[in-house]
């Protein structure tokens, strides 16, 4: 039997023999197939990553960039059948990678207003507004070091960005999540702390079980919690956050975060107003409890984002 007559599926008794397959995805050796569709490195929209980002309501979405041409390798079916070492094999075409990653990004819950947030846009902000501010540059260097270690160590350590309001912590946290999805294809979830608590509370009031509410937050490989410690922390909320962090700790799952509070154990300082956001006398330990704080300390690298206040610079 010539290589062009190999059946795609085992033939059934009495069935007509399959017609010879013709065209670019016919049964040829895998090394003779045309290359899979890929993004243009010179593309102004995706910069070669293959994804175009936009805000759709409250949530940021990604779609495959228009610079990607139809795929000659799989004829846009997503599946390739070819001869590998003398055997017919069927597998997914590598052009699907960008589709997979656009779905991962769109499901991550990144706020719509941060749809364009990336390391590139953060660096441009530093250049434009603060002329290579050394504190921000130092933070960027630490972040790229952390990302460079991703996947190379047995356990992927988490990361908590801390610093005063207006330094761009949320922008950077989104940039980390985006990088992990776009470069590494990691499933991740981004959530703002008070919203997370609100969602948990809503889940319980809808009659969902504790497992239904908490399990998705424990099972996601990367959970990014923005504004850790913000809001009015009731005993119930503290118990829930303790469970999420403890279970992620036990599962050695990667947890990311940002906070306005100093990364230190509880001092006992009381807030002037429990709902206020920026209470510098309090530490992260005061806000989330020492047990959660010490777990975070073990799981995560803490990176300070000092530098100028972008919000006040932009108002000048
Ligand atoms: Zn493009
Ligand atoms: Zn393809």
pLDDT in tens, 59-114: 999 999 999 999 999 999 999 999 999 899 999 999 999 999 999 999 999 999 99
CB atoms under 10 Å from CB of 20, counted, come to 11
Task: Determine phi and psi for 257, rounding to 5 degrees.
Answer: -160, 170
Ligand 1 center–CA 72 separation, angstroms: 18
Q: Do 174 and 211 have their domain in common?
A: yes
Q: Do 89 and 204 have their domain in common?
A: no
Q: Do 223 and 254 have their domain in common?
A: yes
Q: Do 140 and 284 have their domain in common?
A: yes
Alpha-helix runs per DSSP H in the chain = 96-106, 119-130, 134-148, 169-184, 193-205, 210-219, 235-250, 284-288, 290-299, 310-315
Q: Are 110 and 174 in contact (CB under 8 A)?
A: yes
Q: Do 175 and 141 have their domain in common?
A: yes
Provide the CB-side half-sphere exposure for 243 (13 A, CA).
15
pLDDT tens for each residue of 263-300: 999 988 776 555 554 456 889 999 999 999 999 999 99
Q: What percent of the chain has pLDDT over 90?
A: 55
DSSP 79: E
Ligand nearest to the CA of 72: 2
Pairing of strands 254-259, 158-162: parallel
Ligand nearest to the CA of 41: 1
Ligand 2 center–CA 68 separation, angstroms: 11
Q: Are 67 and 45 in contact (CB under 8 A)?
A: yes
Ligand 1 center–CA 131 separation, angstroms: 29
pLDDT tens for each residue of 190-217: 999 888 888 888 888 888 887 888 898 9
Query: Which domain range does residue 28 map to?
Result: 3-96
Ligand 1 center–CA 71 separation, angstroms: 15
Q: Do 51 and 119 have their domain in common?
A: no
Q: Note whether residue 104 is domain-resident.
A: no
Angle of CA points 175, 181, 185, to nearest 5°: 160
Q: Do 230 and 309 have their domain in common?
A: yes
Helix (H) / strand (E) element for 316: namely: none
Q: Do 87 and 118 have their domain in common?
A: no
Compute the mean pLDDT over every residue in the chain, rounded to the nearest whole number. 84
Q: Range with the lowest mean pLDDT among 7-11, 109-113, 211-215, 227-231?
A: 7-11
Ligand 2 center–CA 48 separation, angstroms: 17
Residue 24 has a pLDDT of: 43
Q: Note whether residue 310 is domain-resident.
A: yes
Q: Do 132 and 23 have their domain in common?
A: no
Ligand nearest to the CA of 43: 1
Ligand 2 center–CA 78 separation, angstroms: 5
72 exposure class (CB count in 10 Å sphere: 0-12, 13-18, 19+): middle
Q: Supply 134's token pair.
A: 């050394």
Q: Are 148 and 301 in contact (CB under 8 A)?
A: no
Ligand 2 center–CA 307 separation, angstroms: 45
CB atoms under 10 Å from CB of 243, counted, come to 17
Q: Do 122 and 36 have their domain in common?
A: no
Number of domains in the chain: 2
Q: Do 171 and 22 have their domain in common?
A: no
């Amino acid at each position: 039997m010539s290589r062009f007559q190999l059946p795609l599926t085992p033939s059934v008794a009495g069935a007509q023999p399959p017609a010879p397959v013709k065209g670019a995805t016919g049964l040829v050796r895998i090394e003779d197939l045309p290359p899979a569709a890929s993004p243009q490195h010179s593309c102004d929209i995706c910069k070669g990553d293959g994804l175009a980002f936009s805000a759709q309501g409250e949530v940021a979405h990604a779609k495959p960039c228009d610079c990607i041409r139809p795929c000659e390798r799989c004829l846009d079916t997503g599946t390739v059948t070819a001869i590998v070492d003398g055997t017919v094999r069927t597998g997914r075409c590598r052009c699907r990678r960008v589709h997979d990653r656009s779905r991962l990004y769109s499901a991550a819950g990144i706020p719509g207003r941060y749809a364009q947030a990336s390391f590139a846009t953060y660096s441009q902000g530093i250049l434009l507004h603060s002329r290579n501010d050394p504190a921000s540059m130092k933070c960027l260097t630490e972040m790229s070091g952390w990302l460079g270690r991703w996947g190379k160590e047995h356990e992927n350590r988490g990361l908590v960005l801390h610093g005063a309001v207006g330094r761009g912590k949320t922008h950077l946290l989104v940039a980390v999540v985006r990088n992990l999805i776009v470069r590494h294809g990691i499933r991740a979830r981004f959530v703002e702390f008070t919203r997370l608590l609100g969602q948990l509370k809503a889940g319980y009031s809808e009659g969902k079980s504790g497992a239904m509410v908490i399990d998705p937050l424990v099972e996601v490989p990367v959970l990014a919690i923005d504004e850790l410690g913000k809001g009015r922390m009731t005993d119930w909320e503290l118990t829930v956050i303790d469970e999420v962090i403890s279970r992620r700790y036990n599962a050695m799952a990667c947890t990311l975060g940002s906070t306005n509070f100093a990364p230190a154990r509880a001092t006992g300082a009381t807030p002037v107003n429990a709902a206020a956001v920026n209470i510098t006398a309090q530490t992260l330990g005061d806000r989330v409890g020492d047990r959660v704080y010490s777990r975070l300390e073990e799981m995560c690298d803490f990176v300070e984002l000092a530098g100028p206040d972008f919000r006040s610079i932009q108002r000048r």
